[in-house]
Structure 1
Amino acid sequence: MLEKIKWAPLVLAITVLLMIVTAAVGHNIQTSGGAVRTEEFTFTTDVGATSHAKLYVPQTATAENPAPAILLCHGYTASMDAMEPNAIELSRRGYVVMCLDLYGHGESTLPPSGYSQAEMGGVEDYAPDLGTYSALQQFAQYDFVDLTKIGMLGHSMGTAAIQEGAYLAYAKWTAAYNAALAEATAAGQDEATAAATAYAAAMSSGIVLPSSMVLTGYNYNVRNVNDLTYNGVTSDNGVFPLYAAPVNICTIEGTYDEFCELLWGVKDASQYTTSFKFAYGTGGATNVPSGTYFMYGDAAATPLTREQAVEAAASAAVTMAPIRAAYTFEGTHSDTYYDQTAISYGIDFFDITLRGGQATIDPTQQVWHGRAACGLIGLLSALVAFVALALTLLKVPFFATLVRPEPKSITTCDTPAHGLRYAIIYLVCLLPAPLLYYWLVGYPYYMQPQWFKFLTKFWPNEIFNMAPVNSLLLFNVVVGVILLAVYVLVFLLIARKAGCGWVNTGLKLPVAQALKALLLAVVSFGLVYACSGLSGTEFSFFKFHLMPMDGAHWRSFFVYLPVWLFFFLLVSVIFNSFTRINNAPAWLNYVLIAVASCGGLAVMFAYDYGKLFATGVRGIEYIPGTTSAEWLATIGMTFPTALAGIMLFSLLFNLPLAAIASRVLFKKSGSAWLGGFLLSFVVLAFTMSEMVINV
């Protein structure tokens, strides 16, 4: 990265400039060159939570010319920022768009305890819509929204949530209709007149109803008819609550969706339309080709032309026969956020169901890629800026006392025997991470308002309140302890005999100087993070984010920080005092350190996803132990590796970058402290900045 410390200020200046430029360019793309106004706001939901959302309002949407509106909802390990590609493309086509942080995500809170929803049986602490019903009702606040043309689009958990929000809206509308009908009948009106009176009363009740929904990366919400839960649903006992609502719905699935077996009941995602849940959501259709429009209740799924689909969708509220469509695209579960084909399917379906088939811009003509590119450049610039600022500050007299000559590594491969010994130990150190990853991370899905608590190895609590981060914490502790034991053995049994001592670990530093290294890390992290925060959510790409955090996330940050400090100080020592080879070229040491950080995980990932892309089924399908007879007898289901696999994307991105950065900081400071401190801050912020708070 930086071979000479004098280059650090120049690199810092370049990275900061890139952050500023990409933020500005990205914002211009986000607002379609000023043609779309954006604003963030909060509101209180029906169960007392504070929800946070972002509104995209095209200039063409006015009180005189109200526009269709669409609510966008993200998945479990994301926030509203993940929906930006859809938001950009829909808003520049004239749709009013609201992106919502679901409960516990982004800047939305969890509801206070004791809440309930009458339409959900009045069950305490159960609100599976995650704020989508109340967000839907927010559209009534805007005179530039056409309330007769409302759509909803969700991804994964967000898809489950929007179905619940739509169900709540229609349940409340039906209750208003029934109450008015009873009153009209009691007043002596005949059946037809009473029905007309009740319909008018329900429509004037102010309840905002969706007429179009796009479900991505998730199944139709099929309940168990016996208790209306999602438990034990089979082809014999299922019911789709929205079957009686005049809502036009399409599904969009990646052909390599990792969650398919859990959600649809079939292993190969390309076959999802053969599942019984698909049949329930469509009124009997099965094995439907991708891109087919057909009527709900038509078991034969008789294809409709686009013109016929437009006509049927427009009359659904009268005929009570909405349309259905099924789409498949080449991609994984997470790709639904960012795949051009998947996004175009959603746009076209909304054009058909909310705009009478008119397309202002061809659905395939998309510009969000520029915003994503700006996010990636800005993100990488921020990661480099953390290190560049620390190196720049090392020239300041106060911090210059930290600089020491770089100690020699405990490894010198000067003979074949030494080289073989090094290779064996190196490979041994690569094994714990892939062998233990799925065991330790599990399936950390925990959403109390949905009553979904899956295989989380370290349950969230009032202190450690983020299930996905708990899983990574457990992984860091166990793998860290194993690596520490291996390193101590290598040091005691091999390195000391070769004359290496405490100084070679990079830890020999007076306490006052170690504290000064901590201060330097805090200043470097704080200044760059604050700079990135000024741009809002500019610095994100795919599953990689460096996001501004709210107060709740910062409180959790300091709770989890000690474990990240332990892990990254440890790996800084290992990378620089053992993995580094004294007589190897500098470039080779960088490669060795980068591979050491994630090589085992990368091989596991390549096998796992390689088999998925080759066969349609994961190479490592289930969390180890969940397929045993005892487990199945107790729990009743296996758990897929899907969520842990998706979380692995971020690790494979940030671990090698952190390892290389630790090498640079060690080389320039002569100790492991600065790198250990700074990288623990950066990686933890990277890990949890948009992660869900579960408790």
Structure 2
Amino acid sequence: MQKHTSVAPVLANSPAAANASGPDTHFSKRSAWLLWGGLLIVLAGALLAHFIQTAGGVRIQDVRFTGADGTPMSAHLYIPASATSKTPAPGILAVHGYFNSREAQSGFAIEFARRGYVVLALDQTGHGYSAPPAFANAFGGIDGLKYLRSLDFVDKDNIGLEGHSMGGWTVVNAAAAMPDAYRALVLEGSSTGAPFAPEGTPDFPRNLAVVFSQYDEFPGIMWQIGAAKDVASSKKLWSVFSTDAPVETGKVYGDIEGGTARILHTPAITHPMDHISPTAIGHAIDWFQKTLKGGNPRPADDQVWHWKETGTAIALIGLVAFALGLFATLLRLPYFQSLCTPAVAEAPAQARDGKWWATVIASALVPALTFLPLCRLGGDLLPASTLLPSLFVNEIAFWALGNALIALIVLRVVGTKVLQGFDQIARSAVIALITFGVTYSLVAAVQFFLTVDMRFWFMAFKPMSAWQASAFPVYLLVFAVFFAVLFRAHFAMLGQRVSGAVGLYGLSVATFAGGFVLFLGVEYGSLLLGHKLIEFHMFDPLRIIIAINFVPVMAAVAIAGVFIYRRTARVLPAAFLCALFVTWYMVVGQAMQSAP
């Protein structure tokens, strides 16, 4: 069996090979373009997002307040110009779902605020900047409603509640605890009743709109049906709508003035797409304009929030470019120039035979095929604790270690030296930490001055809370091991038979993210064609939605890994940098079920 021992054969035309004494001029110029171009893109995207969300004189405040049992709570408060203590405006409590934060509700909040409503976009307990654990104090919704009602520029007789997914249970709990404190409620991809909310009745919640998508991933837990398209036939829904026949979509049941009005909408989207659907957002707008008095009515389809989403997505792309440009620029400093020296001599690219192609396919498929089984096992073996406070990060960490072990076994079988190229540990760590620290500071500055994070959809970078930061180091160790082994296996076993930057970038993106693209294609193909996901465990739909993150994250990891490896011929600089950013991404994007 042929042994794969080369570390840097893919670098035949790299600065590391061409100029062992330091980075070459061509790559230095490219680094400057990435650094400053990325910074300009970040600022342009963030400014676009800021001006859209504050259009018409809306002010956004980052508010912190104390909830039940002294729990620190967090929210974004959107205040339209028309809302004053002399002219109080209608108010809306808007709450995100599991694994999200207050920013996930920005599409709804922007449109509500444009129509003259004061909006409190709440971080649930254990999410964002609200203290863990998740699920505590009825998810924090009662505290949020109390805070909203305490504001002197809010009309306390015209308050609406809106929640997505678990955020729906949050506002239903608030409605039950304070039955006279609101006038209307919108459930987006959510429900009344078990497992986490009071049961709905013909007159509770007051003036209810249910927006439940035709391809929602959670039909069973929400409305006790097999497929979301059948929600109109849910007997649980019938009891809320006071009917014994399938509910007609778009028809108002009951009486708005009496508080018994109900309406059902079923847009042709999935559960997480409720966040970015003009239709789903439009239904919420329309219902509150029917049920709340005051504000500045606009047509439901008059929406601008997508430009804010575009701005934060642009900023996110710019952030990646900035970080890579910064890393490459730092390589020009004398202290880091030794990282640009190849660890071993170059070797010619080898022919791509059947075994190589089989390895490519296995490298793409194994991480995706092991995702659900290893996450399930990780959840059982590593429940949330003080040391590891986030259940689903624990699951992903367990999956990562499992795949690292598989890669190590394969490396040993084919005779590759596992630790070759793992030198310059200190310099690799320092350059990664500086890159991370400066990039983190940029994100924090943008959030402080513009009240904007770097996001697209439910995927985001934002500064960590104190609780998230305390959990960060432990998870960082796990992902550092994972990426070190992943990059070592990838470049030693596959990269040596690819020449040229384009080929290596393409190969890396395909192997790192391609399996998850296929996995999600199968799952959502099943959902779109058969109206059911392929699932075997109650948390599988959540995990499948989490897997959507792996496509852009692993594609970005592949790009960053190749970018750095071509300049250093080493595994550790790329592994440390990717571990820092992915751990950051994980801890700010997942719930904390335990307090660190």
Same fold, judged at TM 0.5 (above): yes
Q: Which amino acid aligns with 2:535?
A: E
Q: What's the counterpart of residue 267 of structure 1? A: 226
Alignment pair present for 1:27 and 2:62: no
Aligned mates of 1:271, 1:410 — CA distance in 2: 60
TM superposition shift of 1:587: 1.4
Aligned-pair distance for 1:482? 0.6
Match of 2:191 among 219, 223, 240: 219
> C-alpha distance in 2, partners of 1:514/1:575?
20
2:18 match: none
Correspondence 1:370-381 to 2 at 5 A: 370-381=307-318
What's the counterpart of residue 107 of structure 1?
Answer: 129
Residues 529-544 of structure 1: pairs in structure 2 closer than 5 A: 529-536=440-447, 537-544=452-459
State the partner residue of 1:464: 388
Structure 1 position 167 matched with structure 2 position 189: no
Structure 2 residue 335 is the aligned partner of structure 1 residue 398: yes
Q: Distance in 1 between matches of 2:499 and 2:246?
A: 59
Deviation string 1:650-675 (CA, Å, 9 cap, x unpaired) is: 11111011112111101101211110
Between 405-414 and 655-664, the greater mean CA deviation after superposition: 405-414
CA-CA distance at 1:461 after TM superposition: 0.7
Equivalent residue for 1:677, pick from 544, 567, 576: 576
Contact between 1:89 and 1:366, CA under 8 Å: does it hold in 2? Answer: yes
Q: How big is each residue's C-alpha offset from its partner over 1:632-687, in whole Å with a ceiling of 9 and x where there is no partner?
A: xxxxxxx2521001000111111011112111101101211110111110111122
In structure 1, the partner of 2:560 is: 661
Which amino acid in 2 is paired with 1:140? R
**Which protein has greater RCO, CA pairs closer than 8 Å, 6+ apart?**
2
State the match for 1:345 in structure 2.
283
1:578 aligned to which of 474, 493, 497: 493
For 2:463 and 2:586, how far apart are their aligned partners in 1? 12
Deviations 1:66-89 (A, max 9, x none): 111000001111011100000101
Q: Which of 614, 621, 641 lines up with 2:535 in the alignment?
A: 621
Aligned to 1:514, which of 412, 425, 436? Answer: 425
2:199 alignment partner in structure 1 = 240
Preserved contact between residue 408 and residue 582 of structure 1 (Cα < 8 Å):
no
Asked if 1:433 corresponds to 2:367, the answer is: yes
Contact 1:443 1:640 in 2 (8 A): no
Tell me, in whole angstroms, the C-alpha distance in 2 between the residues paired with 1:406 and 1:252: 58
Deviation at 1:466, TM superposition (A): 0.2
Residue in 2 aligned with 1:487? 411
Report if aligned partners of 1:411, 1:580 keep a CA contact under 8 Å in 2. Answer: no
User: How far, CA to CA, are the matches of 2:305 and 2:546 in structure 1?
Assistant: 24
In structure 1, C-alpha distance between the alignment counterparts of 2:201 and 2:346, rounded to whole Å: 65
In the TM superposition, residue 431 of structure 1 has moved relative to its aligned partner by 3.4
Indicate how the Cα distance of structure 1 residues 583 and 353 shifts in structure 2: closer, same or farther if over 3 A, else same: closer
SS of equivalent to 1:665: helix
Q: In the alignment, which residue of structure 2 is the partner of 1:605? A: 520
What residue number does 1:177 align with?
none
Q: Distance in 1 between matches of 2:345 and 2:215?
A: 47
Three-state SS of the structure 2 residue aligned to 1:154 is: strand
Once the two structures are TM-superposed, the CA of residue 143 in structure 1 deviates from its matched residue by: 2.0
1:67 aligns with 2:89: yes
Q: Following TM superposition, by how much is the alpha carbon of 1:294 offset from its aligned partner in structure 2, in angstroms?
A: 0.7
Is the 8 Å Cα contact of residues 73 and 131 (structure 2) preserved in structure 1? yes
- Counterpart CA distance in 2 for 1:126 and 1:521 is 35
Q: Tell me the alpha carbon deviations over residues 529-553 of structure 1, each in whole angstroms, 9 at most, x when there is no partner.
A: 1101111142111121111111111
**Cα offset, 1:456, TM superposition:** 5.1
Q: In the TM superposition, what whole-angstrom CA distance separates every residue of 1:474-493 from its partner, at most 9, and x where no partner exists?
A: 1101111111211222234x
Identity across the alignment (%):
26
**Corresponding residue SS for 1:479:** helix
> Matched residues in 2 for 1:581 and 1:54: separation?
50
- Cα–Cα, structure 1 residues 482 and 249, in superposed 2: closer, same or farther, change >3 Å? same
- Gap change, CA 1:694 and 1:665, over 3 Å in 2: same
Judge conservation of contact 2:204–2:240 (CA < 8 Å) in 1: no
**What is the rounded CA distance, in whole Å, between the counterparts of 1:560 and 1:411 in structure 2?**
38
Provide the residue aligned with 1:525 in structure 2.
Answer: 436
Contact 1:78 1:105 in 2 (8 A): yes
| Whole-angstrom CA distance in 1 between matches of 2:138 and 2:44 | 38
* Further displaced range: 241-250 or 158-167: 241-250
Which is worse superposed, 276-285 or 376-385?
A: 276-285
Residues 106-152 of structure 1: per-residue CA shift (max 9 Å, x gap): 111137xxxxxxxxxxxxx9855211112111233222111111100
2-structure distance, mates of 1:343, 1:323: 19
Aligned to 1:644: 543
Rounded Cα–Cα distance in structure 2 between residues aligned with 1:165 and 1:442: 32
Contact map agreement 1:42 1:50 (CA 8 A) in 2: yes
1:151-230 aligned at under 5 Å gives the runs 151-170=160-179, 209-222=181-194
Where 1:438 maps in the other structure, the secondary structure is helix
Decide whether aligned partners of structure 1 residues 18 and 371 sit closer, same or farther in structure 2, where only a CA change above 3 A counts. Answer: same
Partner secondary structure for residue 477 of structure 2? helix
1:442 pairs with one of 376, 380, 383: 376
Paired residue total: 567
> Which residue in 2 is equivalent to 1:292?
251
Please state how far the C-alpha of 1:580 moved relative to its aligned partner: 0.9
**2:201 and 2:241 in contact (8 A); partners too:** no
**CA 1:594 to 1:577, structure 2 compared with 1: closer, same or farther past 3 Å?**
same
Deviations 1:6-39, CA, capped at 9 Å, x for gaps: 3101210011111122222211111115x11111
The residue number in structure 1 matching 2:475 is 560
| CA distance in structure 1 between the partners assigned to 2:104 and 2:72 by the alignment | 20
Q: Which AA in structure 2 matches 1:515?
A: A
Contact 1:259–1:642 under 8 Å retained in 2: yes
Q: Is the counterpart of residue 384 in structure 1 residue 321 in structure 2? A: yes
1:412-459 Cα shifts (integer Å, max 9, x gaps):
443xxx511211222233332222211122399xxxxxxxxxx65521
Displacement of 1:287 in angstroms is: 1.8
DSSP 3-state at the match of 2:428: helix
Instruction: Give, in whole Å, the separation in 2 of the partners of 1:574 and 1:326.
Output: 52
Q: Which runs of 5+ in 1 are unaligned?
A: 112-124, 171-207, 224-228, 231-238, 296-311, 317-321, 445-454, 493-500, 624-638
Query: Which of the numbers 320, 323, 326 marks the counterpart of 2:264?
Result: 326
Using a 3 Å threshold, how does the CA distance of structure 1 residues 574 and 106 change in structure 2: closer, same or farther?
Answer: same
Deviation >4 Å, runs of 4+: 125-128, 241-246, 406-412
Distance in 1, matches of 2:245 and 2:103, equals 34
1:461 and 1:395 mapped to 2: Cα distance? Answer: 43
Structure 1 stretch displaced more, 422-431 or 460-469: 422-431
Q: 5+ unaligned residues in a row in structure 2: which ranges?
A: 1-13, 16-25
Could you report, residue by residue, the CA deviation over 1:49-102 in whole angstroms, capped at 9, with x for unpaired residues? 111111111011122321110000011110111000001010011001001111
**1:203 corresponds to:** none
Aligned-partner Cα distance in 1 for 2:499–2:353: 11
